[in-house]
Amino acid sequence: MAISKFNYNSFNVTPVAGNALSFNSDADGFTTQGASSMVLIKTLTASSSGTLSFVDGASSVVLDDTYPVYLFKIINLHPGTDNVEFQVNFRDGSTDYDATKTSTFFRALHDEADSTTALAYRTGGDLAQGTGFQRLNEGIGNNGDQSVSGELTLFNPSSTTFVKHFMGKFSGCNAGDREDTTYVAGYCNVTAAIDAVQFKMNSGNIDAGQIKLYGIKDS
Amino acid sequence: MALSKVDFNNINVTPAASKALKFNSAADGFETGDLGGNMVLLSTATASSSATIDITSGIDSTYKEYQIHFTSIHPATDSTKFTCQFDTGTNTSYNQAITSTFFRAAQDESATTDFGYKTAEDQAQGTAFQTLTGTIGNGNDESCAGILHLFDPASTTSVKHFMGRAQGYTHNNYAIDEFVAGYINTTTAITRIRFKFASGNIDAGTIKMYGIL
């Protein structure tokens, strides 16, 4: 009788959940192969949203020891209110987003009229053992074409030994018709695991845009 | 005889080292190929005394972010800046209005350092090519490399943000760490990117574009 179907355990390779069947490096046998090391976990799309939250275990979000590094991509977030800050905070065991943070924040700017440029540390954007929301970008305009984009990396949020480092970079279209480039970095000074991350504007809603959460494997 | 194990060469496809076994696009047979992922290689361009490297396809609404990785970009002419510009549709003018910032850290091989904003390299609604690096040398081992992020180029609502960081080996033996960011001030979809040196050809190097799902 002709074989019409192969059963998975008919192949001479040890099955690995979620991996594909691949030829080995000598092309003389089978092995298993994983996909990209950068795994999309969740996409949140803003629609006049007060906050956008990624909570481990909710709505298919993974934010635990599955990945050592998590990467948030911020795509064209448009504020409902003019001239606002884009912010983040972290949850460290309770229901509140209030992890203690120490951070740095600096900014470069240049306006469309070519009248102002700057590169400076911004003491108003950093935190010293603060529990408030961390500034990621500032002065974002809410004209129809204005928004902020960038990325935020969170390292090893599930550690119960170390603080949790984060680093971000953002390009924002300022209400004053200028580019505001911001760089933020710091650590959540807690040894409890970070199990949720929340983004918001400091005033008003996130009118539109997306935030994507990725897990980075084996990094 | 009972089937116990399927040997690799019992499958009706030519084995290819380290490639996955996939169903073909018609789902009626096997083929070999790379596995998908969330960072998808879309194109590779290799310079060979090239005046420009143009990416004219693959930039659309499929991905919300594109990353362009440029590696070992070597100029034919000494002391020249690596630059880029953008365009829409099938246009070839590469003259979109850009407002941008540019700053850098630098140190030469004699330990002279520099850090600061560079007003000569930013743009205020400028349509010139955007500087990505300082003046790269054309010594045999001199080149630059970096990553440029382009966010949501297909948007017809928002400006298009970009952020880049590049490392270069300059004509006067500086290590330069360059930070550029800004927005293309148009609500028309961006569909193409041109890279070139401010003077002379791109003698060698590779530019790869990835889509981020």
For residue range A149-183, list pLDDT tens digits in order: 999 999 999 999 999 999 999 999 999 999 999 99
Residue A59, Ramachandran bin (φ over 0: left; ψ between -120 and 50: alpha; else beta): left
B10, B40, B99: best to mutate for the A interface, most A CBs within 10 A: B99
The candidate with the shortest Cα–Cα distance to A30, out of A38, A20, A45, A39, is A20
What is the chain A residue with the closest CA to B1?
A1
Nearest CB partner across the interface for A33, out of B20, B119, B179: B20
Domain ranges of chain B: 38-212
Q: Where are the domain boundaries for CATH 2.60.120 in chain A?
A: 37-216
For residues B30-53, b (16+ Cβ closer than 10 Å) or e, as one string?
Answer: eebeeeebbbbebeebebeebebb
pLDDT in tens, A192-219: 999 999 999 999 999 999 999 999 986 5
Residues of B in contact with A136 (CB under 8 A): none
| ipTM of predicted assembly, 2 dp | 0.81
Nearest-Cα distance to chain B for A204, in Å, is 19
**The CATH number of the domain covering residues in A37-216:** 2.60.120
Residue position matching structure tokens 């003077």: B199
The segments of chain A whose pLDDT lies below 70 read: 1-5, 7, 17-18, 34-35, 218-219
A50 in Cβ contact with A203 (< 8 Å) = no
A64 at interface of B, judged by CB pairs closer than 8 A: no
Residues of A in contact with B20 (CB under 8 A): 20-23, 33
For residues A99-135, b (16+ Cβ closer than 10 Å) or e, as one string?
Answer: bbbebebbbbbbbbeeeebebeebeebbbeebbebbb
Check if CATH label 2.40.50 holds for domain B38-212.
no
Band the pLDDT of B28: cuts 50, 70, 90: confident
B17 with A39: Cβ contact below 8 A: no
Residues of B in contact with A150 (CB under 8 A): 161, 163
